[in-house]
Amino acid sequence: MTLRDFIDKLLGRQPASAGMARERLQLVLAHDRSDLNPELLEQMRREILEVVSRYVEIDLEEGDVSLETEDRVTALVANLPIKRARPNPPPPGADPTMATV
Amino acid sequence: MGAIIWGTSGKHVTSAQNRTILICSGKGGVGKTTLTANLGIALAKQGARTAVLDADFGLRNLDLLLGLENRIVYTAQEVLSGSCRLEQALVKHKQEPNLSLLPAGNPRMLEWLTPDDMKKIAGLLAEQFDYVLIDCPAGIEDGFKNAAAACREAIVVTTPEVSAVRDADRVIGLLQTREIEPIQLVLNRVRPRMMANQEMLSVSDVTDILALPLLGLVLEDDQVIISTNRGEPLTLNGSRSPAGQAYTNVARRLRGEEVPLADPTKEGRGLRAKLGRLMHTKIF
């Protein structure tokens, strides 16, 4: 936080807009660069959570799958806090549709 | 830059020094044509044989900014169709004879250009000139693809605004897939006071996001509009205005000279600038 941000907060003013511009740009560019629209990303997020939760119990509230971009390289970053391992993970080669989700 | 051979009729070998540079931005109105005109004049004044090619033949304006609008007789199209020689189509600038303008086409023409046409024209120019600057149309459609086909390197122009930076990012992605190298950035219409107040993306915000080397910083400057009114680029008469100096410096850097880039928010010595810097300080 810069001094300017701090003063703005004290006075209840709108924060300077450059930071907002930067954040909005970073988000929109991550999507532009990966050619993924938010809908597809959401679908991918659901499927990733589905697969992972066949093996471990994850905290869906805290879980986060998002695109991050740095130096023109876009990465898919998943942060999925694990509550505990599943007592009965599906055996190797099992029909994935049979797994409990 | 080695020699390239174009065309089928004969062997056109480029001048060993030739650099053909695309000037593009994606978004319209950020200053591509102004940069092309000023950079072309500045390079010519520095002794380089320079051609500027207006690839935007539908909405051409480079002639207007250079004050050459009344002297265009032929265009690249007549050269390609064989109805005139290249020398006849080139419009030489009277005050700065090292600079010539070639319009790609006539606004009344329909789509006729192909990437191969542009390659041929650029190849012909490369034989005679040290620098060929191609003023790219806005957008990322055919006009952009044609112009990009003829270039080996590029300058991307943007302003510190979200829409311009986003479009620049798209264009950079397309240039990289075409293996155009190097791609350098010119940040235009910088307002130091807004930057100091953190109401405008900072220079490092833009260079970090686009991840390109910065070739130049041009401050917002009323003189730019005045010079376009007259049809005399700022670099023509060695203007000491901020934008004029910035364009001259872009030319010098392009030619390999080391010219330091100053942070616009750190230049001022007045109270306002000092206060701006204080406000920028990270406190936690």
For B249-283, what is each residue's pLDDT tens digit?
A: 999 999 999 999 988 876 655 676 677 677 767 77
Q: Provide the total of helices (H) and of strands (E) in chain B, helices listed first.
A: 13, 10
pLDDT (0 to 100) of residue B194: 93
| Distant-in-sequence, close-in-space partners of B225: CB < 8 Å, separation ≥ 6 | none
Select the residue of A4, A6, A29 nearest B169 (Cβ to Cβ).
Answer: A29
- pLDDT for the residue B7: 33
| Cβ-defined contact of A25 to B195 (cutoff 8 Å) | no
Q: Is the pLDDT of residue B6 over 80?
A: no
- Give residue-wise pLDDT tens across range A37-76: 778 888 888 888 888 888 888 887 777 777 777 777 777 8
From the list B24, B28, B94, B33, the residue with the least C-alpha distance to B247 is B33
Contact B197 A16 (CB under 8 A): yes
Mean pLDDT score, B201-218? 96
Q: Is the pLDDT of residue B36 over 50?
A: yes
Q: Name chain A contacts of B170, Cβ cutoff 8 Å.
A: 32
Q: Print the domain residue range for A65.
A: 3-85
In chain B, which residue ranges form alpha helices assigned H by DSSP? 32-45, 62-66, 76-81, 86-89, 115-128, 142-149, 162-177, 192-196, 203-210, 222-230, 242-254, 264-267, 271-280
Residue A38 sits at the vertex; the CA angle it makes with B200 and A97, to the nearest 5 degrees, is 155
- The answer to the question of residue A7 being in a domain is yes
pLDDT at B33 over 90: yes
A76 or B118: which leads in pLDDT: B118
pLDDT of residue B239: 87
Q: Does B282 touch chain A (CB under 8 A)?
A: yes
A35 within some domain: yes
On whether residue A63 sits in a domain, the answer given is: yes
- Count how many pairs of residues, chain A against chain B, have C-beta atoms within 8 Å: 62
State mean pLDDT over A12-26. 88
Interface test with B, best of A1, A8, A23, A29 (most B CBs within 10 A): A29
Q: Quick one: CA torsion of B228, B253, B202, B180, rounded to 10 degrees?
A: 90
pLDDT of residue B230: 95
* Mean pLDDT for the stretch of residues B199-224: 96
pLDDT of residue B76: 92
Identify the pLDDT of residue B275: 73
* pLDDT for B270: 67
Task: Identify which of B165, B173, B283 has the shortest CB distance to residue A2.
Answer: B283
Residues of chain B neighbouring A25 (CB-CB closer than 8 A): 162, 165-166, 201, 209
Out of B198, B211, B283, the one facing A6 most closely (by C-beta) is B283
Task: Grade residue B225 by pLDDT with cuts at 50, 70 and 90.
Answer: very high
pLDDT, position A93: 66
pLDDT for residue A10:
82
Report yes or no: B50 and B43 within 8 Å, Cβ to Cβ. yes
SS3 of residue B87 by DSSP: helix
pLDDT tens for residues B129-141?
999 999 999 999 9
A23 within a domain of the structure (yes/no)? yes
CB contact under 8 A, A29 and B209: yes
pLDDT at B90 over 90: yes
What pLDDT, on a 0 to 100 scale, did the predictor assign at position A101?
A: 44
> Percent of chain A scored above 90 by pLDDT?
8
Average pLDDT, chain B: 89
CA B246 centroid distance within chain: 13
- Of the two residues A41 and B27, the one the predictor is more confident about is B27
CA gap B140, B168 in Å, rounded: 10
A75 falls within a domain: yes
Whether the pLDDT of residue B184 is over 80: the answer is: yes
Task: Please count the structural domains in chain A.
Answer: 1
DSSP states along A50-62: HHHHHHEEE-TTT
Q: Which long-range contacts (CB under 8 A, 24 or more apart) does B221-230 make?
A: B224/B34, B228/B34, B228/B64, B228/B65, B230/B67
The reply to whether A101 falls in a domain is no
At B111, the pLDDT band (50, 70, 90 cuts) reads low
B110 touches chain A (CB under 8 A): no
A interface with B, Cβ–Cβ below 8 Å: 1-4, 6-7, 16-19, 21-22, 24-26, 28-29, 32-33, 71-72
pLDDT at B41 > cutoff 60: yes
Distance CA A45, CA B213 (A): 35
Has residue B122 got a pLDDT over 90?
yes
Band of residue B52 on the pLDDT scale cut at 50, 70, 90: very high
Q: Do B278 and A21 touch (CB under 8 A)?
A: no
B194: nearest CA in chain A?
Answer: A18
Better-scored residue on pLDDT, B105 or B61:
B61
Q: Which residues pair with B112 in a beta bridge?
A: none
Q: Is residue A92 part of a domain?
A: no
User: Is position A94 within any domain?
Assistant: no
pLDDT at B179 over 60: yes
pLDDT of residue B10: 36
Domains and CATH numbers, chain B: 16-280 (3.40.50.300)
Higher pLDDT, B264 or A92: B264
- The reported pLDDT for the residue numbered A9 is 77
Name B184's bridge partners: B155
Angstrom distance (rounded) from CA A35 to CA A90: 33
